[in-house]
Amino acid sequence: MKAMSSMERVLTSLQHKEPDRVPLLLSLTMHGAKMQGVSIQKYFSSPQLMAEAQVRMWKKYESDFLNSFTYSSAEVEAFGGSTIFYEDGPPNSGEPVIQALEDIESLEPPDVQTVKSLMVTIEATRRMKAAVGEEVPILGVTISPFSLPVMQMGFENYFDLLYSDMEHFRSLMKVNTEFQLQYANMLVEAGATAIVYFDPLSSTTIIPRAKFLETGFNIARDAVKRMHGPIVAHFASGRILPIVDKIIEAGFIGVSASVDEDLKILKKLAGGKLTLIGNLNGMEMPNWTAEQIDQNVRSAISDGARGGGFVLCDNHGEIPYQVSDETIQGIADASRKYGKYPLKRT
């Protein structure tokens, strides 16, 4: 089989057919700062640095995606929130912007064009698109309306709302949904090939299936209908086996696969309707030996890649800053070693 471009490789796998080799998604966000020799905060404030680094890392590791994601709390900044930056780890959100139920009553969807951090991502996406055209898929990432309140009001307060005050919950979801749709569609307009709908709260690691069906599922299904372009569901290493059927029903084309679940079972449940994306353990990755890299990549490909419908990736959606370039290169090399179709029987 002749070599494919990254776009051809990914589209073939999304059609549940076998491309030339397994597509590789390296979720390298903070590593771009390391490559450019700047702080994480400076890197995430510069569309030029981000676009340049994404293209350089794609070429260096021969991966199959560019990623315009910066940090989750950028979307909370739109509501007046703040971000705490670190030298060697992902930024975190500051104090919750919703301190009382009355704050929800006065909340309105922000205008993305007035939010500096989000416009950096929009402009970085444009620059990536200008650099690679249709050769490489570009991923845009948005936080789901259902998961965003964890940062807007704090985990405990949000759970109190979720289980005891559905009136204010629905009001908050309406505002968050309009904001999320605006941002997602602007990312697509800027050049994103697909949107990653980041929804860790909907994972059955956090809430039971019944609560998901009552809340997160309906929000996701409605959002997918209104978002432009294909949408992938990501649960940040959370478990999804009990809700795979509803993820399919919601209209997603792909889903993150957790290291805590059996890829073979997920593959069977996906039934040629969902592309699996995973499931390398990002938390353990900084300490992997060369042998462990080889073993983990080989195992994921063996369990999930046969017949297409699979993208090799970490299971959390962001490779830790502490993972060395040598380890990342080892993952890329192993993906090409074991991911060439037709796959060898193991």
What CATH number is attached to the domain comprising 26? Answer: 3.20.20.210
The residues, ordered by sequence, that sit 6+ positions from 219 with a Cβ below 8 Å of its Cβ are 144, 145, 146, 173, 177
Tell me the Ramachandran region of residue 42: left when phi exceeds 0, alpha when psi lies from -120 to 50, beta otherwise: alpha
β-partners of residue 141 are 196
Structural domain includes residue 198: yes
Can you list the pairs that 322-325 forms with residues at least 24 positions away whose Cβ atoms lie under 8 Å? 322/88, 322/286, 323/31, 323/282, 323/285, 323/286, 324/286
The rounded distance, in Å, linking the Cα atoms of 136 and 41 is 26
In angstroms, the CA 288 to CA 118 distance is 34
Asked if the structure places residue 346 within a domain, the reply is no
96 found inside a domain: yes
**pLDDT digit string (tens) for the chain, length 346 residues:** 789 999 999 999 999 999 999 999 999 999 999 999 999 999 999 999 999 999 999 999 999 999 999 999 999 999 999 999 999 999 999 999 999 999 999 999 999 999 999 999 999 999 999 999 999 999 999 999 999 999 999 999 999 999 999 999 999 999 999 999 999 999 999 999 999 999 999 999 999 999 999 999 999 999 999 999 999 999 999 999 999 999 999 999 999 999 999 999 999 999 899 999 999 999 999 999 999 999 999 999 999 999 999 999 999 999 999 999 999 999 999 999 999 999 987 6
Q: How far is CA 336 from CA 125, 285, 294, in A?
A: 27, 18, 11
- Give CA–CA dist 22/88, Å, rounded: 30
How many domains does the chain contain in total? 1
Report whether 69 contacts 139 (CB < 8 A).
yes
Please report whether residue 1 resides in a domain: no
At 151, is the secondary structure helix, strand, or coil? helix
Q: Classify residue 251: in a domain, yes or no.
A: yes
Residue 295 lies in a domain: yes
Which helix (H) or strand (E) segment is 20 a member of?
none
Q: Which residues of 83-98 are buried (b: 16+ CB within 10 A; e: fewer)?
A: bebeeeebbebeebbb
Name the residue range of residue 57's domain.
Answer: 6-338
Please give the structure tokens belonging to residue 156: 């405990």
**Which amino acid, one-letter code, is at 219?**
I
* Helix (H), strand (E) at residue 83: strand 83-84
In this prediction, residue 257 carries a pLDDT of 97
Residue 343 lies in a domain: no
Place of tokens 């990432």: 141
Q: Does residue 128 form part of some domain?
A: yes
